[in-house]
Each structure stands twice: as C-alpha cells, then as structure tokens.
C-alpha cells in the first residue's frame, strides 16, 4: 500500500460511511480516482467488507466473555472449528499456544445464555476436554480499528 491507500483505509476505518468526496480530500485525488483506489483495495482484499458498528447492549448482547478451550486433536478439532465459524455469538475464535487450543470471544444476552452456550454448545461438542471462562466486568477499550502499517514502495 502506498501513502494514498493508507490514508484512505485509515479514514474508512474511522468513518465507514464517508463519501467519496470526503475521501478524495483525504487522499488528495479526484473523486473518480479515489473511487478506483477504493475498488482496488476491495479487489485486493484489503477492504474485506462494510459493516455497521453496533453498541452491544443496544443489540441485546451486553455480556462479554472470553473462553479458553482445550480440544483433543483430530477430527474433533475440525468439527469444533466448523461449529465456531457458524455460531453467531462467537465473535472471534483464535488457535492459541500453551495449554489451551482455542480462545473465543463471545457476546451473549446474559448469564443464563452463557450457561447454555457453555453447557449445550461447547461441552456438547466431541473432543472438548476443558473450558475456562473469563467474564468482562468492564470494557475499557474495544476496537476493530487496525493500526495500518506505514506506506510501502510499490
């Protein structure tokens, strides 16, 4: 990415609804040239999609939990990955190092919903050996804005 692409991606992360005229000012280009840049960023997979940033409480899922999961290796692992990709409460699923296999970030309505998720969804999956749940009691920072690397020569 050059400096113009970097400026466009930073601006879009801060305000995804920014119009092309606004982005053109940031980029120092014409509107049509900026539109081409945005299109190329989409085609290259730099911009993966367009979404609204919802307030979790307003969306009905104020409870935030991180769950460490140990899964037996083998076919169970593939089934676990597939199940986590499909579950809407699972915002993130990371394969991790150490004594655990995965780290999940989940958003749910309340403690009964968390209890159901743990007991019915996770423990019900073949190969799940153990879980540890960490409840967030306050969120000091939560962001999807990436620290875009400095521009590179193209």
Residues 17-51 pLDDT 10s:
999 999 999 999 999 999 999 999 999 999 999 98
Place of tokens 């990415």: 1
Percent of the chain exceeding pLDDT 70 equals 99
Kindly give, in sequence order, each residue whose CB lies less than 8 Å from that of residue 2, ignoring residues fewer than 6 positions away: 151, 152, 153, 154
Q: Where are the domains of the chain?
A: 3-43, 63-135
The pLDDT of residue 95 is above 60: yes
| Token pair listed for 6 | 């970097």
Closest by CA to 84, choosing from 40, 131, 39, 117, is 117
CATH topology of domain 63-135: Alpha-Beta Plaits (3.30.70)
What is the C-alpha separation between 50 and 30, in angstroms, rounded? 22
Closest by CA to 94, choosing from 104, 108, 106, is 104
The pLDDT of residue 103 is above 70: yes
Q: Residues 117-123: contacts with CB within 8 Å, 24+ apart?
A: 117/89, 118/67, 121/83, 121/87, 122/67, 122/69
* CATH hierarchy code of domain 3-43: 1.10.10.10
pLDDT band at 154, cuts 50/70/90?
Answer: low
| Helix boundaries (H) for 28-127 | 31-43, 75-86, 111-116
CA trace torsion 60, 92, 8, 18 (10° rounding): -10
Mean pLDDT over residues 96-115, rounded? 97
- 124-139 pLDDT per residue, tens: 999 999 999 999 999 9
Whole-structure pTM over 0.95, yes or no? no
DSSP state of 149: P
CB of 148 closer than 8 Å to CB of 10: yes
């Amino acid at each position: 990415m050059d400096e113009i692409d970097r400026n466009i991606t930073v601006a879009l992360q801060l305000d995804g609804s920014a119009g092309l005229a606004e982005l053109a000012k940031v980029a120092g280009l014409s509107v049509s040239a900026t539109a081409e840049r945005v299109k190329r960023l989409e085609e290259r997979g730099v911009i993966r999609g367009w979404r609204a940033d919802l307030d979790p409480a307003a969306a009905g899922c104020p409870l935030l939990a991180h769950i460490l999961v140990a899964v037996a290796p083998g076919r169970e692992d593939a089934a676990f990955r597939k199940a986590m990709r499909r579950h809407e409460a699972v915002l993130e699923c990371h394969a991790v190092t150490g004594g655990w296999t995965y780290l999940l970030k989940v958003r749910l309505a309340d403690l009964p919903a968390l209890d159901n998720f743990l007991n019915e969804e996770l423990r019900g999956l073949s190969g799940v050996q153990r879980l540890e749940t960490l409840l967030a009691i306050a969120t000091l920072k939560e962001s999807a804005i990436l620290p875009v690397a400095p521009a590179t020569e193209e």
